[in-house]
Chains A and B, each alone.
Chain A
Amino acid sequence: MMKITITQLIRALLFAIALLAFSQTAAALTVNDIINMASQNIGEDAIVQIILLSEAMEALNDEDLQRLRSAGLGDKTIEAIKSKQGAGKAELATSSDEISESAKDNVLRSYSEEPSREMGGELEQTTLESSHVVVEEREVSVEESVEENADDSPKRANGSNLTELHSLESFGLVQVAKSGNLSVLLEKFYESAYQSFLIHAEVQAKYDKLQEEHKISVMGTELLPELQRLQKRIPNDPLHALAGALRIESEHNLEADSMAHALLDAIVGLAANRLGLHHVAAQRLERAMWFSQPVHHFDELFLAYQESAKVSAHVLTDAEKIQNRQNFISDKHASSFIYAIAYSYVYGPHKDEEAAFELLSKNLGEGINAAKALLLTASRRILPPRNQFKTAALELEQATSILKNRKGDEAFQLLNIANLSLARIMHENSAHEQAHAFYGMLSPRSHHFKRARLEDAWTLYFGGRYPEAIAATQVFYIPDWEKDYVPELHIIEAAALLKLCQYDAATAALGRFKAKYLGSLQALQRFLASTKATDYVQQLLAFTRDSAATPLDSRMFSAILQDSRFYHAYMKSMHMRKEAETCRSLETRNTALKSLCDAYAADFTLAKSALEESIAVALDAVKAEILALDITATELSIEIQLALRAEQERCLQLTAQGMSCEVAKSVPEQPFFITENIQYWKFNSEFWRDELLSYYSRVPSLCSASAVKP
């Protein structure tokens, strides 16, 4: 792809415009010119010579002929004009109508005057002629000065050097004029003018081609110098840059895919990122990355986007558009870039998992992004209709092998997630032993640890390892964790104890469930009845300070905190609140941020509503779960009763046969042990972090222990 910077493009364009303007004023020889020459007492022979040397001549009509004759010019001149007609460049002749007559007159007049006045006349005239060029070039000069010096002194911006650049002197005409050979002078003049036309035409053609090829918009080009100046202020004064960009944005309605628009988004995004306004930063930086042309700071845009998107939980809204900018990112950040796009294909508004899979199939190296990519694809593979458990497991194992060798919290968390995912895949496929092994790999410092313990207990239960299932639940008796919302805990205990024919203990476990969670359910119902949805957040805050101050129950509080929808909604609301506060404090320093802050306030209101809704949903889910588990508890209770009755009946039968029967007693306390390699010791009420995965229960099965004594 041909690369051309915007600055270069603008420079070329403006230079071409300047040349065109000059050529328009000087290239074509008109009848008026000839008449003017005659009026200046230039001899007819000289005029004929000029005409013959000129590149083109406009067509003569009857009126022109009369004017020429009245100016004292004879047939020689007319013949010379006719000889040039059609042989030159018609377009030049016709364009002469547009020439500023007075300007041209002045030029010609000046050359016929005294040499001592020529210089002054030329410079003055040139300035006059190309006055618009100077104006245009001043923009370029500003741009240059911005690039060279952020101070942007007005002195540098006046474009005086450019006046000299486009003076006649630059065409080598002054020296010739001094020699007095006018014919040579004009010859050179027109030659230069024609060359400038060609240059202009060439540049224009190139520019048109570029515009056509890249669909670039020139809209707002005049803003670029100012935008670049603001861009340079971002590191030291992001507030000023942000305010300036917002002001420009409010004053101009820029086309979407224009350089000015992209630069404006980049400035707002980068400045907002520096000011901690990540919500708006992520949105703007994504838009800035949409620009179809490569920009030198694309890496910077992406890195800032990554940071802001992480805080504000932003997902790319147009993954396809960003994907088309893949060539703009440097190799260093390519894997993060690809992952971000793939992630948005999966979780963004325009879902396309196939595109995500295709993207992630590329070699992302051996870094953390490769592991994240594997985790992402694995997490999608296990879902229906794919159900590609084996491939997913292989990808997860590959991810764990990458993550094991990496340090840092992110790698630690990902490794735990990978192990948890592997455990779940194994559990889903009834590979209980393997599932148990993977659950055991989760660190007690992982925030998934509790969930993993619970799931491990279920795995052990389904694998028929009932005492170990009970042992896996032991961690939930850690004093600080006892108020956590884990209603399944006592159900697993009861189910496992029932399998071990520990009926009394199983009944006790069900009693614990009812005491803790049915009580909590009542508290929840009271809370729902007495509290409006708009007050949920305030109630949670109040509970944080004083749990007795609200009707909330500690387990309900824990349930809300654990809910992932609530978590995401709260995090979004929290960041929005903090950023809205930041925005308001910045607004006191610069009022240009008012509209932005108003938008923040509106977004915060929306986020708060979403949060309240998430709490309501979480509480409903809790209610439904407890009610469902209560049914399970009742079923278990019935099973226990039936088992006890069957045991009693069996006992009665034995007694009737003259044999004695002794129903084995349940073990009143479950003796737990800690096992490490071959040594073990009795659990003594202390919960050491390094022992949490080593609990072992020796709860015996009493199913075959109904001693029958003849």
Chain B
Amino acid sequence: MQKIAYIFVFLTSLHFLPMPCVGLEAEQDFDALVTAQRQTLEAPALLSSKLYVAEKRFELALQMAYVPNDDFYNYFPIQFRLGYHFNDLWGLELQSTLLLLKSKTNLSTFLESRSSAQLDLEQISDRQLARFNLVAVFHPLYGKWSFNRVGLGHFDWGVYAGAGLVVVSEPSSGKLRKSARFDAVLGSQFHFFILPYLALRADFAVNIYPSFNGVLAPCSIGLGLSYYTPTVP
């Protein structure tokens, strides 16, 4: 009983302490705070929040691209992007690309002109039709730029990496068939902000996939527009 009384008295006395209990961490924090008063400041380049904020916003993008390094076709893909930015640095993006527009390369034309018989390019190479990827986006850079002293613009730059599927048309036993192959992607993107919800988007990506004829790594350079939805809580 006496012990309980002591505990009660002790606990009650805590309420009358003149101040809250402060731990060692507070002491260390305060030490650092006071010390910083006379130190060179670690002032970041941007001392306030960003004017163009991507955090907790969806980004919808449409862009035209060009794949310059395929041997037989010059592709002009149409790219759709749907991304969500968890914060200013990280986000996820769903990428879909339709490779419907294409033209023959000089090599293809050359081969066709020199071929005695009718050359079917699709029998010697695969043809990309579409690709779908899910990528993680990392945007470490946000800055301002000016061109020839004309106003001031803002941009951000990031990299992304992910994987998905590429749908190709490829020869198989003298016939053509469509197949889906694993596709990895590494890329980099710029946003040049025009309005708080609109940005010019430039994109460069390298896709890597195993074709029937070995591993291929088509590159794409894209340019389009991004629209940012209002903040999603």
Chain A interfacial positions (CB closer than 8 Å to B): 409, 412-413, 444-447, 449, 478-481, 531-532, 535, 538-542, 544-546, 549-550, 561-562, 567, 570-571, 574, 677-679, 681, 684-690, 692
Query: Which B133-172 residues have a C-beta within 8 angstroms of A?
Result: 144, 146, 149, 151-152
Query: With an 8 A cutoff between CB atoms, is B4 at the interface?
Result: no
Q: List 24 A-B contacts (CB under 8 A).
A: A444-B43, A445-B40, A445-B42, A446-B40, A447-B38, A447-B40, A479-B47, A481-B47, A532-B18, A535-B19, A538-B22, A541-B30, A544-B30, A545-B25, A567-B38, A571-B34, A574-B31, A686-B46, A686-B50, A688-B46, A688-B144, A689-B43, A689-B46, A689-B47
The reply to whether A478 and B45 form a contact with Cβ atoms under 8 Å apart is: no
The count of chain B contact residues (Cβ–Cβ below 8 Å) is: 35
Residues of B with C-beta under 8 A to A412: 40
Residues of A with C-beta under 8 A to B23: 545
Nearest CB of A to B18, in Å: 5
The reply to whether B18 and A535 form a contact with Cβ atoms under 8 Å apart is: yes
Interface membership of chain B positions 80-107, coded 1 if the CB is closer than 8 angstroms to chain A and 0 otherwise: 0000000000000000000000000000
Residue of A nearest to B39 (CB): A447
Please measure, in the bound complex, the distance between the C-alpha atom of A562 and the C-alpha atom of B37, giving whole angstroms.
Answer: 7
Query: With an 8 A cutoff between CB atoms, is B44 at the interface?
Result: yes
Residues of A with C-beta under 8 A to B214: none
The reply to whether B37 and A480 form a contact with Cβ atoms under 8 Å apart is: no
The reply to whether A687 and B26 form a contact with Cβ atoms under 8 Å apart is: no
CB < 8 Å: which of A478, A479, A561, A684 contacts B34?
A561
The reply to whether A688 and B45 form a contact with Cβ atoms under 8 Å apart is: yes
Nearest CB of B to A545, in Å: 4
The reply to whether B51 and A684 form a contact with Cβ atoms under 8 Å apart is: yes
Query: With an 8 A cutoff between CB atoms, is B13 at the interface?
Result: no
The reply to whether B49 and A479 form a contact with Cβ atoms under 8 Å apart is: yes
Query: With an 8 A cutoff between CB atoms, is B120 at the interface?
Result: no
The reply to whether A409 and B19 form a contact with Cβ atoms under 8 Å apart is: no
The reply to whether A544 and B46 form a contact with Cβ atoms under 8 Å apart is: no
Please classify the interface of chain A as helix (H, G, I), strand (E, B), loop, or mixed, using the class held by over half of its residues.
Answer: helix
The reply to whether B48 and A685 form a contact with Cβ atoms under 8 Å apart is: yes
Please measure, in the bound complex, the distance between the C-alpha atom of A544 and the C-alpha atom of B47, giving whole angstroms.
Answer: 21
Residues of A with C-beta under 8 A to B39: 447
Residues of B with C-beta under 8 A to A574: 31, 34-35
Nearest CB of B to A631, in Å: 29
Residue of A nearest to B152 (CB): A681
The reply to whether A686 and B48 form a contact with Cβ atoms under 8 Å apart is: yes
Question: Assuming A561-B33, A686-B49, A686-B51, what are 16 further A-B pairs, CB within 8 angstroms?
Answer: A409-B40, A445-B41, A445-B43, A535-B18, A540-B30, A541-B26, A542-B19, A545-B22, A545-B29, A550-B20, A679-B146, A681-B152, A686-B46, A688-B45, A689-B46, A690-B45
CB < 8 Å: which of A446, A546, A677, A685 contacts B41?
A446
Residues of A with C-beta under 8 A to B33: 544, 561
Residue of B nearest to A539 (CB): B19
Residues of B with C-beta under 8 A to A531: 18
CB < 8 Å: which of B19, B43, B49, B144 contacts A550?
B19
Residues of A with C-beta under 8 A to B49: 479, 686
The reply to whether A678 and B47 form a contact with Cβ atoms under 8 Å apart is: no
Please measure, in the bound complex, the distance between the C-alpha atom of A532 and the C-alpha atom of B41, giving whole angstroms.
Answer: 33
Residues of A with C-beta under 8 A to B38: 447, 567
Residues of B with C-beta under 8 A to A681: 151-152
Residues of B with C-beta under 8 A to A678: 149
Residues of B with C-beta under 8 A to A690: 45
Residues of B with C-beta under 8 A to A692: 47
CB < 8 Å: which of A413, A540, A542, A562 contacts B40?
A413
Nearest CB of B to A275, in Å: 20
Nearest CB of A to B198, in Å: 16
The reply to whether A571 and B47 form a contact with Cβ atoms under 8 Å apart is: no
The reply to whether B46 and A549 form a contact with Cβ atoms under 8 Å apart is: no
Please measure, in the bound complex, the distance between the C-alpha atom of A153 and the C-alpha atom of B18, giving whole angstroms.
Answer: 61
Residue of A nearest to B19 (CB): A538
Residues of B with C-beta under 8 A to A446: 40-41
Please measure, in the bound complex, the distance between the C-alpha atom of A688 and the C-alpha atom of B38, giving whole angstroms.
Answer: 22
Nearest CB of B to A474, in Å: 12
Nearest CB of B to A392, in Å: 23
Residues of B with C-beta under 8 A to A449: 41
Please measure, in the bound complex, the distance between the C-alpha atom of A447 and the C-alpha atom of B56, giving whole angstroms.
Answer: 35
Residues of B with C-beta under 8 A to A409: 40
- Residue of B36, B38, B45, B50 most packed against chain A (CB within 10 A): B38
The reply to whether A447 and B43 form a contact with Cβ atoms under 8 Å apart is: no
| Minimum-distance CB pairs A-B, first 4 | A687-B47, A687-B48, A679-B149, A541-B22
Please measure, in the bound complex, the distance between the C-alpha atom of A538 and the C-alpha atom of B20, giving whole angstroms.
Answer: 8
The reply to whether A542 and B45 form a contact with Cβ atoms under 8 Å apart is: no
The answer to whether residues A444 and B41 also contact, given A532-B18, A561-B34 and a CB cut-off of 8 A, is: yes
The answer to whether residues A571 and B35 also contact, given A446-B40, A544-B26 and a CB cut-off of 8 A, is: yes
Interface membership of chain B positions 59-79, coded 1 if the CB is closer than 8 angstroms to chain A and 0 otherwise: 000000000000000000000
The reply to whether B41 and A570 form a contact with Cβ atoms under 8 Å apart is: no
The answer to whether residues A689 and B44 also contact, given A567-B38, A684-B51 and a CB cut-off of 8 A, is: yes
